[in-house]
Each structure stands twice: as C-alpha cells, then as structure tokens.
Amino acid sequence: MSKLLIVGTVAFDAIETPFGKTDKILGGAATYIGLSASNFNVDSAIVSVVGEDFPQEYLDMLASRNIDISGIEIVKGGKTFFWSGKYHNDMNSRDTLATELNVLADFNPVVPQNYKDSEIVMLGNLHPGVQMSVINQMDVKPKLIVLDTMNFWMDCAWDDLLAVIKKVDVITINDEEARQLSKEYSLVKAAQKIHEMGPKYVVIKKGEHGALIFNDGNIFFAPALPLEEVFDPTGAGDTFAGGFSGFLAQHENISFESMKNAIIYGSNLASFCVEKFGTQRMETLTEAEITERLEQFKKLTQFEIEVN
C-alpha cells in the first residue's frame, strides 16, 4: 500500500454562513485532506500540531478513519490554531474574521520515521517554512509532492512560499490566489507564470465552477457537481486536495492522464464536504455514496458531438 504524508493545520474553526453559525468546531487543512484521502486504499499520516485544549475525541475520530496521527504534536499548555470566517450570500467568497496561529507560530514538524519514504507528500495549507522542513526530512525522494497554500501566506511569508513552490511537482490553488501569486488576471497566463516558478502541474480551483489542470500546454477541466444545497464551503479546497492526492497515491502511474481522474475524484469528494457544516459530512461518507455520485459526474460531462 502506498504511503501518503499529509502536512497542514489541525484546527478549531468558527464559521458563519447564510444558513447558520457555529462555535469552535473541528477544522484545519490537514483534517479535511486526511478525511478525504481516507476514502482510498492508502496508508496516510498527518504531521501537524495542536494545543492541550484539543479534544481527544477529534484525534480518535481521525485514527478511526485509519489515519496515522503519531505525527500530530500536542503542545502542553498550548492553544490550538484558530480560524474564523464568514461567507457572503453567494457562498463563493468569504471574509477571514480571525487567524490565531497559537501553537503553529513555533511549530517544528517531525516526520515519523516510517513515513520518511512516503511516495506522495501532500503539503496542505500552513507556513511555507514548515512545508519546506517536511520536504527536507524525507529520506527517499517522493514520487510526487503536491502543495496547497493561500493568500494569508502570500501576504506574510512571500519569500518562504516562493522557495517551497520551487520544490514541488503540483500546486493546487484557487483562482483568486493564482492571480495574486502570478500577478496575471488570465488564468491561462497565471498558470504559465506559476509553471515557471517550479511546479510542472498547476491545478486552479474555481469553487462551484470546478477546477482546471495545466501541464505543458495541456489543459483539462473538471466541473463541480451542481448541488441543490450548499451549507458550508469550508474545507472544500482541502477535501479536493485530499481526493486528488489520495487517488494518485493509490495509482502506480502518474501522468497528465491520471491527474485528470484525480481532479474528478477531488471534485467528487468536495461536493460532499459542502453539504454540512465543518467535517460532519466527511466523517460519515460511504463508498456507495461516492460511487453513486461519480456516476452523476460522468453523466454531467459526457456528450457525443461530431467534429468535422
């Protein structure tokens, strides 16, 4: 079984959408990535940090999904990373109300010895210096390194971010962030500029409008499934990244062709994430539900047309 090493935040989130508001609930990039990747036949582990205030039941839930949590450090007397956000009426845009780094501010990640040979490394959203440290601790060069990031790190750790982007094979980023990173409005031009920064594959997420993958002049597009109800988009990007990297970890062959399927799997899983607040939907997701929705995806995108 392939190993998938995940790094990212494990957090408390407080979320406000037009449908309601939560107190502090379980969140974090690595949490969503791990839950999403747990739907594949892979051996995955999370490297992260939490404070003493973090409930044991959340860690138990991750472990119950067969995620190795030995790389999640618990800092005595420390407070867990906290993020709070508010969605606008269209749910496509949100304002960050608070980002409290807490234990993340002094985090030195330690990759568990038995994951230093992971085939796939999924660098979820967190300080780019921490992402770089994880790459440097690998004993064997991974088959694929995937990086996700956000505007927060572009604003406060630009040089570190550019340094780690140089080292990765794939970057997954949303459209607004791709524009901020490349200083280009056109996503095609943005992808070209980002290629030049290092990654061979550039995945641009467009929320309810799907995702694009660019590689060496090739472009492929996966739609997002049109849903009747979207309660909370938090974690959709990370769930996408978990599906993308989980799918690739399960497959021997890594190419543009397999990445096309990986972004379909990522979009499929993200479509569940948004149906309930926080991680709720991902915690109960079954294989049968995933398969059924994949069929819907197929129907949504297949057509026959003759091109003369």
Site track 147-176 with ligand AMP (rule: CB under 6 A), x = hit: ---x-x------------------------
- Cα–Cα distance measured from residue 99 to residue 81, given in angstroms and rounded to the nearest whole number: 8
Minimal distance in Å, beta carbon 247 to ligand AMP? 17
Let me know: does 139 contact 121? Beta carbons within 8 Å: no
Minimal distance in Å, beta carbon 119 to ligand AMP? 24
Name the one range near ligand AMP by CB under 6 A: 6-14, 17-25, 108-116, 178-186: 6-14
Token pair in block for residue 170? 């794939």
Output 45 or 270, the one with its CB closest to ligand AMP: 270
Query: Per CB under 6 A, does 180 bind ligand AMP?
Result: no
Buried b (16+ CB within 10 A) or exposed e, 237-270: bbbbbbbbbbbbbbeeebeeeebeebbbbbbbbb
Identify the residue among 40, 58, 83, 297 touching ligand AMP (CB under 6 A): 83
Query: Per CB under 6 A, does 51 bind ligand AMP?
Result: no
Let me know: does 64 contact 38? Beta carbons within 8 Å: no
Site track 84-123 with ligand AMP (rule: CB under 6 A), x = hit: ---------------x------------------------
Let me know: does 272 contact 249? Beta carbons within 8 Å: no
- Cα–Cα distance measured from residue 213 to residue 134, given in angstroms and rounded to the nearest whole number: 25
Identify the residue among 2, 3, 6, 28 touching ligand AMP (CB under 6 A): 28
Query: Per CB under 6 A, does 237 bind ligand AMP?
Result: yes
Minimal distance in Å, beta carbon 156 to ligand AMP? 9
Identify the residue among 6, 29, 121, 225 touching ligand AMP (CB under 6 A): 29
- Cα–Cα distance measured from residue 164 to residue 123, given in angstroms and rounded to the nearest whole number: 10
The angle, 0 to 180 degrees and rounded to 10, between the axes of the packed helices 187-197 and 158-165 is 80
Minimal distance in Å, beta carbon 243 to ligand AMP? 12
Minimal distance in Å, beta carbon 222 to ligand AMP? 16
Output 93 or 218, the one with its CB closest to ligand AMP: 93
Let me know: does 49 contact 101? Beta carbons within 8 Å: no
Let me know: does 282 contact 29? Beta carbons within 8 Å: no
Name the one range near ligand AMP by CB under 6 A: 5-13, 114-122, 210-218, 247-255: 5-13
Let me know: does 173 contact 149? Beta carbons within 8 Å: yes
Query: Per CB under 6 A, does 47 bind ligand AMP?
Result: no
Query: Per CB under 6 A, does 125 bind ligand AMP?
Result: yes
Residue 5 buriedness (CB in 10 A; 0-12 / 13-18 / 19+): buried
Output 202 or 254, the one with its CB closest to ligand AMP: 202
Query: Per CB under 6 A, does 235 bind ligand AMP?
Result: yes
- Cα–Cα distance measured from residue 175 to residue 167, given in angstroms and rounded to the nearest whole number: 21
- Cα–Cα distance measured from residue 119 to residue 1, given in angstroms and rounded to the nearest whole number: 10
Query: Per CB under 6 A, does 275 bind ligand AMP?
Result: no
Sorted by sequence, the CB contacts under 8 Å of residue 256 that are 6+ apart come out as 201, 213, 215, 216, 218, 220
Minimal distance in Å, beta carbon 99 to ligand AMP? 5
Using CB under 6 A as the criterion, which residues of the chain lie in contact with ligand AMP when the complex forms?
Answer: 9, 11, 13, 27-29, 83, 99, 125-126, 150, 152, 234-238
